[in-house]
Amino acid sequence: MISRLALSACALTFVSGCVTPQTMATHNQPIETGVAATTSAPTLVRVSANTNGKAKTPLCNTGRTPLVIFDVGSSGIDVKFACRIGVSNSDNDFHAEWATVNFPKIDIQAASALQNRRQAFSRSFIRRASRTFGSACNEISELLENYSEFPSGEFNYRGAATHAYRIAANGAAIVAAFATECANNNGTGSIAVLSHQEEGEAEYRGVANDLATNNIIQFSDIAAVWGAGSNSMQITAAEAATNGHTFHVVEGGWASQTFRKLVITQIQQENVRLKKTPNPISFDEAVRAIYIAKTGAEIELKQSAFVQSAINNAYSAGNGAIYAVGGTILHLRRGETEDERADLAVKLGEKIGKRDDELGRFPTDQVSNLSLIYGYMDGAGIKKYKSLDAGVPDGIAVLSNSSWQNVVN
């Protein structure tokens, strides 16, 4: 048996026109109606367990047993395989390398399951979700059994659950049910329900890991990490301390889905149950949305003078850049690594007044996301950011129990 590993973010003036493959079908169907899957599941190439007497190839070439990483999000669970893990508190050891094997997103729609007054998962949802998770663990076990590090398919994992599980009254109960089902299918490990503080730290470490070259990354290269996801937002900055780093986290009041609902209910005065998209959004509605986001940022950044100072000093000599992670950021502009506030103003101006069928990818949240991000940048004083496809999975891959420093400002 593999040893157990556990894991105890004003007004605006627009200028007109500028402002054999085998699919894993068992767990690829939504188990809660109401929210469609955000991305199509990748195809998994499964290697035959029959090696004809030949030695199995390794999943990784690091000499270490890979670790399965579960990113338990509000709209599904992402699965990654970490080959090398660093758990030191020193700057140059936060690094994980990933196996290139793809595994489909586990389609457990936790956010839609929480749409009730109790803010809790129903017993029936917990049963269905845990069975789906257990089935996924079984398929992971069958996949890994084809590699030399997993002769019997037994695997270790770490997992982190975020917003929907954090606010649910029984969030701990459902992740415990996940762990029980996974244990019945060769998986050993634990899933932690992260606080905003812990999620911010995981995102920060994830960015450090993504930027690492030859295992070397200095935290001074990072001014702050802005995590803007579907259901939560936080900005994190790290302060050097005697035993490593202290992480200062500012909790944001809005995120992609919650801000879209705000635009529909408070600005457009519509019923969000009847109107799923805010589009088309008028100029006046966009200005009001930006003002709400800007005012929120100004209030929220007062939580931490350290984070505000890190933002103010970003991009100056020796103070590092601001890195942004999460779906809200990535969906705004994929493939480009840096956005300035003025660029977003132009992009927003081009999309005002357009219907969903005129907006391309991720149309429902696109204009409200732009309003949120532009307004928050204005209120927080963020002039530009570099976007990365990194975050919580990268961070939890390099965390150990001793590395958590929960200092809330």
252-309 tens-digit pLDDT: 999 998 999 999 999 999 999 899 899 999 999 999 999 999 999 999 999 999 999 9
Ranking 33-37, 204-208, 318-322 by mean pLDDT, the lowest is 33-37
Asked if residues 162 and 73 have their Cβ atoms less than 8 Å apart, the reply is: yes
Give this prediction's pTM. 0.78
pLDDT value of residue 18: 29
Picking from 287, 167, 240, 212, the residue whose alpha carbon sits closest to that of residue 407 is: 240
Distance CA 197, CA 200 (A): 5
SS3 241: strand
Cα–Cα distance between 368 and 275 in angstroms, integer? 14
> Which residue type, as a one-letter code, is found at position 294?
K
Most confident of 19-28, 37-46, 227-236: 227-236
- Of all residues in the chain, the percent with pLDDT exceeding 90 is 48
Q: DSSP assignment of 96-142, as one string?
A: EEE-------B---HHHHT-STT-S--HHHHHHHHHHHHHHHHHHHH
Q: What are phi and psi of 383, to 5 degrees?
A: -80, -35
CB under 8 Å to 110, separation ≥6 — which residues? 32, 72, 73, 74, 75, 121, 129, 164, 165, 168, 174
63-77, 151-165, 286-300: the lowest-pLDDT one: 63-77
Q: How does residue 209 score in pLDDT terms, banded at 50, 70 and 90? A: confident
The answer on pLDDT for 341 being more than 50 is yes
Is the per-residue pLDDT at 347 higher than 70? yes
pLDDT for residue 50: 45
Q: How confident is the model at residue 368 (pLDDT cuts 50, 70, 90)?
A: very high
3-state secondary structure of 325: strand
Dihedrals φ, ψ of 355, to 5°? -80, 170
Please classify residue 214 by burial: count the beta carbons closer than 10 Å to its beta carbon, then call 0-12 exposed, 13-18 middle and 19+ buried: exposed
